[in-house]
Amino acid sequence: MITSKTIRYKSREDLCSLLKNCPAYQPGQALFQVFCGIIEPDYISRLQHELRSLFPGVPVCGVTSAAEIIGDKAASDEVVINLTIFQKTYVKTSLVAHDPDPEKTVCHLAEHLDLTDIKCLVVFSSSFNGYQLTNGEPFVRALGAYFEQALVCGSLAGEDNVHRRTFVFDNERIEPYGAVCAAFSGKELKVQNFYNFGWVPIGKRLLITDADEERVVAIDNQTPAEIYRRYLGEEVAKNLPMSAIDFPLMTNRDDVEMAAYMVQANSDGTASFIHRFAAGETVQFGYCHAGVIAQESATLATRINTFKPQALFVYTCISRKWLFCDDILVDLAAWRDYEHAAGFFGYGEIYHPPGKLPQLFSQSLTLLGMTEDVHSEVVEESQPNLQTQPSPTETRRFRTLRVLHHLVEATTREIEIMSEEFRHLAVKDSLTGLANRRHFDEIMETEFMRHKRSHLPLSIIICDIDKFKQYNDNFGHVKGDECLNKVAQTFGSVLRRDIDLVARYGGEEFAFILPMTDYPEAMVIAESVRLAIMALEIPHDYSTVAPYITISAGVLTIDVDEEAKLNSSNLIDECDKNLYLAKRQGRNRVVGKRLICRAEIG
């Protein structure tokens, strides 16, 4: 049996009252979680002293908060303290300063946790380093890799939007840039991580076209600053990153929708986000949907009541409170029957999907349920009931938002369908269905810039149908179009990777982009393309090359580019020269060349 007691702390008398009313406990089987909305180290230090003197030996896992949660109510600038007492579970805490290497930070945390078979890890980490939000995602990934068998949950610290600094603390120490964790071990302990999102995508899909480690360089071939200015306006663009916190970028990771807010806006227009994005990933702006919030809250209530936790902790994002103000009660209503639920609003929530690694979410709501009841069962994930009735806690403003959001959602879907149709027309060749010249040029520039950063090989192939003018002149343009279609379909079937591209480059000219493909492999692909066209055996009685349709191909591979003068257009010209050589040497052949720092080899 777990006993959970939550209080609003104002003075030592509140702790004395808690001590008087709590059952007997062993220090190693109890834990304080402290959510402190007063961002003052001297105040925290006095609180630590009182906890040590009244509850000697009971570990503390403490964090500063942007707002506090007690039961199903939210508070501001207060201190909420939860005491959890276990009968059959053991608890250890650890506090460390962050190392530049997140894996070392996790190892230092683990050094102080001498428990075996850790079932659950609650982690709080600082979020502001004095002037900007930190990226906690590498730290969370390292936690998941180290504590493979444990459920990892928790949050990044919050602050009062004035001090711009956060703290984590234990019984004795306070860290402005560190992490504190509580580890739980017990054969009869059962834990479950719950998750509520409520964000939905809005507007067109955007493509991350360039990303370098933590930095997003380009979205749809524009800087993030330009994208935010275009879609969210000048006022938002001038005050990034905090001005855009209500409109995060949404993506899907491991089949879970997630939102990522910007943590740093750079002078060159690039930006860093709480999640690391990769080139080729699609994102959309998101907004917090009032209707979905209400529906998910009702579904969450059902799941919580099915699990029947004996202790319940809430780690959620301050942006939800900023956005909905008093209507945040709709979000918190899911656990209204649990008066001793406790938690806080911070700047990033750790959610651990079943069977997967933990992830650092943002702008979401996560909960940790704990019980020592052997009859309790872990609840499977489920989708919100879209027929849920409005909550009695909804205000008129909230209901209006819910209807407005439904209107925006329906309109967005229609625009998205039309945009996809237009995009398809804009990048496809109308005759063959392959990519067109414009799309080829865009992808070529993107891949060339990626090559310059990564130094991974990049290959291109340019093909031309031999004596196609004679084919058209003698068989007519209808037959000519049929021939082009057959050749195009064959080209498309040869490629096996999604990152490869084949385009109709001109009338009877086609071009391939093969990222991360070295010279020998590119030559093999070009030769297989040539043989595949011959195997079609399309009769060409007017060709001086062969009785069937054939192609000539030029191949170019670049391994490293360290000279600024070389660009994507130069590469096309160099490859075109190889195609010209293939034609001069009798056609129906492949001629290739490899460049390393513009020096020709083989």
Q: Please, are residues 157 and 127 in contact by the beta-carbon 8 Å criterion?
A: yes
Q: Could you check whether the bond before residue 241 is cis, i.e. omega within 30 degrees of 0? A: yes
Rounded distance between C-alpha atoms, residue 488 and residue 492, angstroms: 6
* SS3 assignment, position 319: helix
Residue 426 buriedness (CB in 10 A; 0-12 / 13-18 / 19+): exposed
* SS3 assignment, position 163: coil
Rounded distance between C-alpha atoms, residue 455 and residue 597, angstroms: 11
- Packing angle, helices 137-146 and 102-111, rounded to 10: 50
Q: Where are the alpha helices (DSSP H) in 72-130?
A: 102-111
Place of tokens 């001793």: 340
Six-digit token string for 217: 């360089």
* Active-site residue (options: 137, 175, 296, 508): 508
C-alpha distance from residue 351 to each of 175, 303, 315 (Å)? 23, 16, 10
Nearest to 128 by CA among 176, 94, 174, 170: 176
Distance of CA 259 to the CA centre of its chain: 7
* SS3 assignment, position 389: coil
Rounded distance between C-alpha atoms, residue 181 and residue 124, angstroms: 6
Paired strand residues for 315: 344, 366
* SS3 assignment, position 278: coil
Q: Please, are residues 122 and 334 in contact by the beta-carbon 8 Å criterion?
A: no
Nearest to 423 by CA among 415, 432, 431: 415
Q: Please, are residues 6 and 342 in contact by the beta-carbon 8 Å criterion?
A: yes
Q: Please, are residues 193 and 303 in contact by the beta-carbon 8 Å criterion?
A: no
Place of tokens 């020592």: 372
- Taking only Cα atoms into account, the Rg of the chain, rounded to an integer number of angstroms, comes to 30
C-alpha distance from residue 108 to each of 92, 102, 105, 144 (Å)? 14, 10, 5, 15
Six-digit token string for 164: 């711009």
Nearest to 484 by CA among 432, 526, 418: 432
Helix H or strand E encompassing 202: strand 199-212
* SS3 assignment, position 170: coil
- 508 is a catalytic site residue: yes
Q: Annotated catalytic sites, by residue?
A: 508
